[in-house]
A and B are shown apart, each in its own frame.
Chain A
Amino acid sequence: MSDQFLHVDPILCVGHGLCAEMLPEMIALDDWGFPIISPDPIPRHLSKQSGRARAACPALALRLDRTPDRRAQALHAKNAPHR
């Protein structure tokens, strides 16, 4: 595990979907094409790919951060069976 987490700014994101293509291990698309980000820490072997996905976002909505998204973590645990 690295010590980094993925975040998306939902206002900046317009749903290009490149991130999910480049990083399917961490990012899925919802039924409308907007990214659902894994709240887990980025595994080491995906560090480089994560950086590329962030750089590729045309809306500059994807972000790497040392702090996890606590709300997303709680919801992920609760809703996992539906995803």
Chain B
Amino acid sequence: MTAVAAMPVREFDQPQGGPGPLRLLAGPRRGAPERWEEHCDRLGGPVAELMAHLGPKRMIEVVRRAGLTGRGGGGFPVADKLVAVMSHGPKRVVVANGSETEPAASKDNLLLTIRPHMVLDGLEVVAATVGAEAVALVVPGEPAGRTIARALSERKARGNGYPEVTVVLSSRDFVAGEETAVIRWLDGGPARPRSQPPRPVEKGWKGRPTLVQNVETLAHLGLIARFGADWFRTAGTAAEAGTILVTLSGAFERPGVYEVPLGQPLDIVFSVAAPNPAADSLLMGGYFGSWVRMADLGGVPLSRAGLAPFGATPGAGVMHLLPHGTCGLREAHRIAEWLSGQSAQQCGPCVRGLPSLAGALSVLADPTADQTGVRTMLRRWCAQIEGRGACRHPDGLVNLIRSTIDSFSSELELHAAGRCSGGSISRIPLPSRQSSPR
């Protein structure tokens, strides 16, 4: 512990006009991925030395005091997950999840592409902590895969070859990023979720107790191992510590990935990306998320606690600002059709229910259609479907539909009267359907 405490807390670069001190995205944003030497110059030597000082028990205590939570969307405390996987027997394995199958997200890809060693530091720390016998890193595509492969060979060449990491390209299906889907994919099966229990911490990849962590979470963890829990808590709130990567898309002049401290007021978060002042509806938390009004967000902290009164969560930090003059009902319907098509086709309530939800929403989105009873039907179906899939995919669409009905009530009235406020073409990114090779 003394070795860690003695390490100086560095002054991180201030972004140009940015919202605060950067951690994951400090240093040059563009260009080549950071090399091993640059990484060590900036942050210090190999994390393996720190681990040797700390040992697993104290490492978990540091993570607990830091208050780090998963950045993949679930927000589960990392220390609890570490303890859980260690309580389920020896021969444990670790999976770094960089699948990032949400089309509007690009933060994991950015991190793997420009800061590979920060992710690998964290991976090394958790692998050493749980004593992993096998380690896999799932990447969303190229060039992230090549970047990671080169970073791994750089580490190996410097005699820092632990752990041996298997790098795997993810399937691009939407559900492929879910923990159990990643595990099935690694085991040579289809990238589709399975029923739980057993939970991955009990029985996952290779049938072993498996720790699955998002790659952004790992990058934070690598820094915590270097600079300690107290340093980590210098950003964020008491209940939600640290920074978070957000992906801003839609009606922003400067869309992209930004790093912001948890708890920062949302108007300040957005100001960096220059939102179109006329745009008002923002989809918070990705395609499973909730609509919020920009006008309501002044001073509202970006955190679970701050967004709870709006029925929203930051999720994996994906936010899409609907351009002014775009019909929210039509946009939500496009997303619903897409999510319905992305079902793994395994569970009845999802296979049959999601097309029904999307179909009913198409009626509400069409001002020339008869809308009688459709909202009541949608609410009934949402209540029936929620919680009845093996994974949370159906719950995600249920959440989006409920939020759409609640948030666009004036647009619903317009449609019922045969009119629509929208005219402009949507920019919500929806890739054409790709099926996985298996």
**A: which residues have CB within 8 A of B?**
9-15, 30-34, 36, 71-72, 75, 79, 82-83
Contacts and interface: CB of A to CB of B under 8 A. Distances in A.
B386 A10 contact: no
Contacts, number: 54
A82 B383 contact: yes
Q: In the complex, which range does the number of interface residues on chain B fall in?
A: 20 to 34
Query: For the complex, would chain A's binding face be called helix, strand, loop or mixed by DSSP majority?
Result: loop
A75 B383 CA distance: 8
Contacts of B384: 30-31, 36, 82-83
B387 A75 contact: yes
Interface in B352-393: 352-353, 356, 379-381, 383-390
B241 to A, nearest CB: 27
B153 interface: no
B380 A82 contact: yes
Given A75-B387, A82-B379, A9 B195 contact: yes
A5 to B, nearest CB: 13
Interface stretch (B65-73, B168-176, B342-350): B342-350
Given A9-B195, A82-B380, A32 B386 contact: no
Interface string B290-321: 00000000000000000000000000000000
Nearest to A76: B387
B150 interface: no
3 closest Cβ pairs, A-B complex: A82-B383, A34-B348, A10-B347
Contact of A10 (B346, B381, B383): B346
Nearest to B387: A75
Contacts of A30: 349, 353, 384-385, 388
A36 B379 contact: no
B194 interface: yes
A40 B349 CA distance: 21
Contact of B195 (A11, A36, A71): A11
Given A30-B353, A32-B356, A14 B348 contact: yes
Contacts of B348: 10, 13-15, 32-34
A11 B349 contact: no
Interface in B240-285: none
Contacts of B388: 10, 30, 34, 36
A40 B351 CA distance: 26
Contacts of A72: 387
B352 A79 contact: no
Nearest to A69: B387
B386 A79 contact: yes
Contacts of B195: 9-12
A34 B387 CA distance: 13
A9 B386 CA distance: 15
Contacts of B379: 82
A31 B349 CA distance: 9
A3 B379 CA distance: 33
A12 B347 CA distance: 8
